[in-house]
Copies of this chain bind each other. A is one copy, B any other.
């Protein structure tokens, strides 16, 4: 069933916790806005950093780096998954890429209409073009291409207040039980991994509007 947002004054909310350095987040970032729009689901963008969450688990890197067998598999899996989803794919020559600057921008814009376009552009750089995503020049270029006041956005993104907000957001992820990315919440119901995005969307369709807040 396709519900138009206008017919749904209090649409069901899908919280999307993602990390711009995460390859499985890439798969979700590229399709989640269109998928939720078609369902009339309210998409809440929640960028956060996986690094502190991995460190809290005692890991100094991505499990795809620490566990070699899993890492080897993941890069083959990504080839197949991207083919399945019709997405371009180049294995990043640096993984995981530092992502703190674009994450700060994404958090700053999380409620803005441009957040989806921005995140897709960052993900495309990382996983389709194998390009750095953390240098100010590339972030500035993405913002300018979106017709945004790049200088102002960059200044606000690196402000002390916004830096603190990203730390708080990452801590909030940990407090909610997030241990990887992407993770989706419909109310208290948690779904981990791009493999569960369709289940999370189906869950949205099964709850009454704002049921999940109760």
Contact = CB atoms under 8 A, between A and B. Distances in A.
Contacts of A178: 69
A187 to B, nearest CB: 13
For chain A, give the interface size range.
Answer: 20 to 34
Given A57-B67, A67-B179, A192 B80 contact: no
Interface stretch (A41-49, A70-78, A98-106): A70-78
Interface in A63-101: 67, 69-70, 72-73, 76-77, 80, 84
A134 to B, nearest CB: 27
Nearest to A193: B195
A199 interface: yes
A177 interface: yes
A48 to B, nearest CB: 14
A7 to B, nearest CB: 28
